[in-house]
Amino acid sequence: MTTEEHEQLVKMARDGRILIGVEPAVARRFFTDPSSENLRKAVGESVAFQRLVVLACLLLGPVSLMMSWVLAVFAFGWWGILAGLVALLAWASYNGRASMGKQRIIGTAWFLALAIAAGFLGDTYLRFQIWLVAVAASFFFSRLTYYSAVGFVRSLVLRNRLAFELLSEKALVVRQVG
C-alpha cells in the first residue's frame, strides 16, 4: 500500500464512508506478545504506552479477582469460599467472552460505578461493599483490556501505514458504509 492510498483510506474513514473493524483478541495479542522494541521496529513508532495500558489491564483483572477472594472471607466468613467460587466462575465465563463481539464497556463501567456508589450508603455493610468493588473491578479490567487494545490498534492503523499493512490480513476488517 502506498502512502497516498493509506491517506485516502484514512480520509474515507474519517468521513464515515468506511468502517475499520479490529479483531479484539488479535489486538490484545498485538500489545502483549511481542517485545516493545520489535514492535517499534515493525511499525516505525513506539507503542510502549499503549502496551503498558493493555498489560496493566490484563494484570489488574485477575489481581482484582484474587483480592475479592480474600475480601469474601472477611465479608461472608466461611460462606466467602462459596462467594469466591461463584465470582471465579462468573469471571471465567465473562472473561471467555470478553474478546467477542463489539467492544463496549458501558455495562461493566456501570457495574463498577454502582459498586463504588454503594460504599457511600453507610458503613453497615462495608465489607460486602469492598468485596463487590473488587469483583466489579475484575470484570471491568477484563473488558478494558480488549476495549483499550481495539481502540489503540484502530488509532494506530489510521495514523501509521506500516501498522495498517502489518495488521490488515489478520486483525482488520474494512467495510464500506452504505
Q: 103 φ, ψ to 5°?
A: -85, 100
Distance of CA 117 to the CA centre of its chain: 23
Q: How far apart are the first and last CA of the chain?
A: 24
SS (H, E, C) 29-61: HHHHCCCHHHHHHHHCCCCHHHHHHHHHHHHHH
The radius of gyration computed from the CA coordinates of the chain, to the nearest angstrom, equals 20
CB 164 within 8 A of CB 6: yes
Q: Which pLDDT value is given to residue 48? A: 85
Give the containing element (helix H, strand E) for 124. Answer: none
What's this model's pTM, rounded to 2 decimal places? 0.85
Q: Which pLDDT value is given to residue 36? A: 63
Q: Which pLDDT value is given to residue 87? A: 93
Q: What type of residue sits at position 43?
A: V
pLDDT values of the chain reduced to their tens digit, one per residue, 178 residues = 788 888 888 898 888 888 888 888 888 888 888 776 677 777 888 888 999 999 999 999 999 999 999 999 998 999 999 999 999 999 998 888 777 767 678 888 898 898 888 877 776 678 888 899 999 999 999 999 999 999 999 899 888 888 888 888 777 877 887 6
